[in-house]
Structure 1
């Protein structure tokens, strides 16, 4: 059971890392290069879609990490799993305090109703997102090392 939980946790967190990494490194930079601020509506739609999905993915990842940590308590590698789970908690707290407020505003934007400082707002979101991606990549790395 513990091995299955470990593999599921690594896969779920790894997929989440892949999505968030792709958003940070590929999707948003591509959207920002669209002419005539064409990326505004795409970012807004992405904020709505991912804003509905990602909370479950993040919380699910924390639950899986915490369960794995509990089952391995006292075993070799348990500290890696606990540290990875703690980093996922940090990513959730960062999300709630820093990213969700901006994301909620972006989700309401349309081509006709964009605030004057929209570029600064998405730039701020992007910077926070880069840090969050670093945190979840580190959590994933700790999980992967603990798995082997």
Structure 2
């Protein structure tokens, strides 16, 4: 049962990393290259869609990692799992304090109501997101290493 938890947790975190990596390095670059207001509208839609899903994914990944850390406390990779869980905690706190406030504003914007500094705010979100991606990539790598 513990082996199934380990694999499920690693796959769950890995898929989350893949989504967040693609947002950072593919989707947002595509949206930024679209003409007119299309990119801003796409970011607003993405903020609404992913803003509804990602909190569950982040908290779920953290919970799975915590269960793995407790259940596998005496395994050789336990310290790696605890460190991964700590990194996931950092990613959740960072999300709540830095990324969610910007996302909550941005997902309501239209070309008619967006602030003058909307691009600056989106670039700030992108910079925070790059750091968050690095953190969750590290957590995923630690979980994968703990499987060995």
Shift of 1:113: 1.5
The 2-side partners of 1:52 and 1:37 are apart by 23
**Structure 2 gaps, min length 5:** none
The 2-side partners of 1:118 and 1:2 are apart by 46
Aligned pairs for 1:1-148 (under 5 A) are 1-148=1-148
- The two structures have a TM-score, normalised by structure 1, of 0.98
**Structure 1 gaps, min length 5:** none
- The two structures have a TM-score, normalised by structure 2, of 0.98
Describe the superposition over 1:11-34 as per-residue Cα deviations: whole angstroms up to 9, x where unpaired: 000000000000000000110011
The 1-side partners of 2:17 and 2:64 are apart by 15
| Structure 1 runs of 4+ with >4 Å offset | none
Alignment RMSD (CA, Å)? 0.7
Shift of 1:37: 3.4
Shift of 1:112: 1.7
Shift of 1:74: 2.6
Number of aligned residue pairs: 148
